[in-house]
């Protein structure tokens, strides 16, 4: 039986509108809804007077103009980037040029991988490099607010979450979203690292999560536990598929994702690949040669 994830999908938005979602947090949502972005990229503004901005979003003039209007009369001191996908970081360049603020992130896309193994895949923002590289535990501060850097690789190797300590609110980017599970796509996405990053969150005491896409998650720990259980269930399903004689990912996906829009099956295949890579490393599966989308798999 599939794991039941308590998804939250109710969100009242008007593109370009500034929503005051907590005493220290405002949100402006970009008009880029889709199968991977839900209702759009939610850009967060932290503080008052001197502010930080998290994930300025896609290269969209209307959204950039809405952000600039939202911070008119204020000083932007930090532009924080959770990771370098096209719906998160491209607007940083124009927003930086308009405000003079520095950008902060773990590093460019792929920077969480070994230096001799950096690979670029579709959907990555190849142009973004932060002015300041941050690491787990670093704290960025402004008047009345402080942001703790929480390294959560897995969705991408450079994925950084940020915790507003005054509200115990964690901005989770695409690491944990309320409306959907995250895509973990090799080569930059890594399932073992992703699960370890989920487990890291269980040791924290955050009161709620603000993902870049979708509404807040108000009960973080049960939600994270359901995500971990979901990934464990995927491994069980893969073993079932192989036992039934479906030894390739192309054979597995139509059965495992029968209820999913077929247009999303290519992304699902890459997620299954991330699972089988982990399972081969864990000694649960074997393949002839390196695990790939076209490999045949067997139980070890």
Mean pLDDT for 60-70 is: 98
Calculate Rg over the CA atoms of the chain. Answer: 19
Q: Angle at the Cα of 36 (from 35 to 38), degrees rounded to 5? A: 70
pTM confidence score: 0.95
Is the domain of 114 the same as that of 205?
A: yes
More confident residue, 289 or 136: 136
> Domain boundary residue among 186, 220, 254?
220
184, 194 in Cβ contact below 8 A? yes
User: Quick check: is 106 in a domain?
Assistant: yes
Is the domain of 189 the same as that of 261?
A: no
User: Quick check: is 279 in a domain?
Assistant: yes
Query: Percentage of the chain with pLDDT > 90?
Result: 88
CATH of the domain at 281: 1.10.10.10
191, 275 in Cβ contact below 8 A? yes
Helices (H), the chain: 61-70, 92-99, 191-202, 220-243, 249-256, 265-281
242, 36 in Cβ contact below 8 A? no
Is the domain of 56 the same as that of 140?
A: yes
209, 152 in Cβ contact below 8 A? no
Mean pLDDT for 98-109 is: 96
Question: Which residues face 298 on adjacent strands?
Answer: 286
| Tally of CA atoms within 13 A in the half-sphere of 175 that contains its CB | 31
Nearest to 176 by CA among 155, 207, 156, 148: 155
Structure tokens at 262: 């077929």
Is the domain of 233 the same as that of 203?
A: no
User: Quick check: is 73 in a domain?
Assistant: yes
Is the domain of 65 the same as that of 135?
A: yes
Cα–Cα distances in angstroms (integers) from residue 276 to residues 44, 143, 181, 215, 260, in the given order: 35, 47, 18, 31, 20
User: Quick check: is 58 in a domain?
Assistant: yes
Is the domain of 237 the same as that of 202?
A: no
User: Quick check: is 11 in a domain?
Assistant: no
pLDDT, residue 115, reads 56
3-state secondary structure of 265: helix
CATH of the domain at 159: 3.60.15.10
Mean pLDDT for 102-129 is: 80
pLDDT digits (tens, 9 = 90+) for 154-199: 999 999 999 999 999 999 999 999 999 999 999 999 999 999 999 9
pLDDT, residue 113, reads 81
Contacts of 258 (CB under 8 A, 6+ apart): none
pLDDT digits (tens, 9 = 90+) for 218-238: 999 999 999 999 999 999 999
261, 250 in Cβ contact below 8 A? no
Is the domain of 257 the same as that of 184?
A: no
Residue 68: CB atoms within 10 Å: 14
pLDDT, residue 122, reads 61
**Where do we find the tokens 């370009």?**
16
Mean pLDDT for 248-253 is: 97
Q: How many domains does the chain have?
A: 2
pLDDT, residue 35, reads 87
More confident residue, 119 or 17: 17
User: Quick check: is 287 in a domain?
Assistant: yes
14, 63 in Cβ contact below 8 A? no
Is the domain of 185 the same as that of 256?
A: no
Is the domain of 178 the same as that of 249?
A: no
Is the domain of 211 the same as that of 251?
A: no
pLDDT digits (tens, 9 = 90+) for 42-59: 999 999 999 999 999 999
Is the domain of 250 the same as that of 133?
A: no
**Helices 265-281 and 249-256 meet at what angle, rounded to 10?**
120
User: Quick check: is 2 in a domain?
Assistant: no
**Helices 191-202 and 220-243 meet at what angle, rounded to 10?**
150
pLDDT digits (tens, 9 = 90+) for 10-20: 999 999 999 99
Mean pLDDT for 80-94 is: 97
User: Would the pLDDT of 274 be above 70?
Assistant: yes
User: Quick check: is 7 in a domain?
Assistant: no
pLDDT, residue 1, reads 55
Mean pLDDT for 122-151 is: 95
Is the domain of 190 the same as that of 264?
A: no
Confidence of residue 272 (pLDDT cuts 50, 70, 90): very high
Domain that holds residue 253: 227-299
């Amino acid at each position: 039986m599939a794991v039941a994830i308590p998804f939250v999908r109710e969100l009242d938005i008007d593109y370009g509108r500034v929503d005051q979602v907590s005493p220290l947090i405002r949100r402006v949502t970009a008009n880029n809804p889709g199968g991977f972005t839900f209702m759009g990229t939610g850009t967060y503004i932290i503080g008052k007077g001197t502010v930080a901005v998290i994930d300025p979003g896609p290269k969209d003039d209307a959204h950039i103009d809405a952000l600039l209007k939202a911070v008119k009369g204020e000083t932007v001191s930090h532009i924080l980037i959770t990771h370098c996908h096209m719906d998160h970081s491209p607007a940083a360049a124009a927003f930086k040029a308009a405000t003079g603020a520095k950008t902060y992130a773990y590093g460019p896309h792929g920077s969480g991988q070994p230096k001799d193994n950096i690979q670029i895949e579709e959907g990555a923002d190849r142009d973004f490099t932060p002015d300041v590289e941050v690491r787990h535990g670093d704290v960025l501060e402004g008047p009345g607010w402080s942001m703790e850097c929480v390294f959560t690789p897995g969705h991408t190797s450079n994925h950084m979450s940020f915790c507003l300590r005054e509200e115990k609110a964690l901005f989770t980017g695409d690491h944990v979203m309320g409306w959907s599970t995250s895509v973990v796509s090799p080569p930059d996405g890594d399932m073992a690292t992703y699960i370890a990053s989920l487990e890291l969150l269980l040791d924290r005491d955050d009161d709620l999560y603000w993902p870049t896409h979708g509404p807040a998650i108000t009960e973080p720990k049960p939600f994270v536990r359901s995500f971990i259980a979901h990934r464990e269930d995927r491994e069980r399903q893969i073993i079932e598929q192989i036992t039934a004689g479906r030894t390739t990912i192309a054979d597995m996906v139509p059965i495992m994702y029968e209820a999913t829009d077929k247009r999303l099956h290519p992304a699902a295949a890459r997620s299954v690949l991330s699972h089988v890579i982990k399972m081969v490393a864990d000694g649960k599966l074997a393949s002839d040669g390196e695990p790939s989308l076209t490999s045949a798999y067997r139980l070890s």
